[in-house]
Chain A
Amino acid sequence: MRKAMTSRGILFLVLSLILLAALIFAVDMACDETEELAPSEIREYEGEELSSINSFRENSIKGPQEIDVESYTLRITGLVTNSTSYTYDEVLNRHQHYKKVVTLDCVEGWSVTILWEGVLVRDLLAEAGPLANAEVVIFHAFDGYTTSLPIDYIMDNDILMAYKMNDVTLPPERGFPFQLVAESKWGYKWIKWITEIELSDDANYRGYWESRGYSNSADLDKSFFGD
């Protein structure tokens, strides 16, 4: 009798958890269903199959941000000779555009392969003139999120600050106006809604997730926990 009750209790607990999981999934799906993103995205580029821009999981710290392009400015600050500020159009019109297919790998286990189009962060930094003691590039987002990367990584690689994905302007939920394409780094380095790029000599700087236990180097070929 007691055994039967215990089994029933376990069954009830397990079923309740499954029900809870189904409920959260259903609410999540219902929220996602109403979003209709731009229909003109491309799904293949030079023979390479691309993921959809709807394939991302929304996991930002405060949800999608709506940025008014008219009042938007991108600031380059910190250890530079000329602190500069650009409007959205100035970023796009004054700099060379580049395209490349890069895969974003999230620590949650999913990944997306997207054709990114944007400007090189290196070009923006070159205009501001980094000082010799600048070691780290700290990116700030509209929602308060931050992350950092070594200046050598930015200068030695073609790191894009993307304004388009799969030939479509970034929608707000994907980081409009700009998302960093931090290739060969885990997804939490791919900061969205960039508002400021700060150069610093603080090699120990830790961004939002990095200060919460994730690796600061975030190399894809290493664990995302640790240094």
Chain B
Amino acid sequence: MVNQRLMKGTIHWLLTVLVIIYLLTGFGITEYRIVEPLTFGLLTKSLAQKIHISLEIPFIILLILHIWLLPLLKYFKSKKLGNK
């Protein structure tokens, strides 16, 4: 039960952080004339684009886990109980 809660919390937070980075890097690509000076030149357009692209797969995986993890765990748990 604790593990389930920990897992849920971890996915939840990871997804939140990832969504924020995804949005910021998205702006870093399309609004680079604003974002680059705001980040003191740290988040350049090319860097933003590299990060943005590399986050696509982790984002999808985390989103799927976020949506399906609990229902799946519940399903397996009920199946396990049913077998008993």
Contact = CB atoms under 8 A, between A and B. Distances in A.
A9 to B, nearest CB: 10
Interface stretch (B39-47, B65-73, B74-82): B39-47
Contact of A59 (B16, B20, B30): B30
Interface residues of A, number: 17
A10 B47 CA distance: 26
Given A57-B30, A59-B30, 14 more contacts: A10-B12, A10-B16, A13-B16, A14-B19, A17-B23, A63-B33, A107-B49, A108-B29, A108-B30, A212-B44, A213-B46, A213-B47, A214-B46, A225-B49
Nearest to B13: A10
Nearest to B45: A212
Contacts of A108: 29-30
Interface of A: 10, 13-14, 17, 21, 24, 57, 59, 61, 63, 107-108, 209, 212-214, 225
A13 B18 CA distance: 13
9 contacts: A14-B16, A17-B19, A21-B27, A59-B32, A108-B29, A108-B30, A209-B46, A213-B47, A225-B46
Contacts of B23: 17, 21
A24 B46 contact: no
Interface residues of B, number: 17
Given A13-B16, A209-B46, A212-B44, A24 B33 contact: no
Contacts of A17: 19-20, 23
Contacts of A212: 44-46
A213 B48 CA distance: 11
A165 B6 CA distance: 58
Contacts of A21: 23, 27
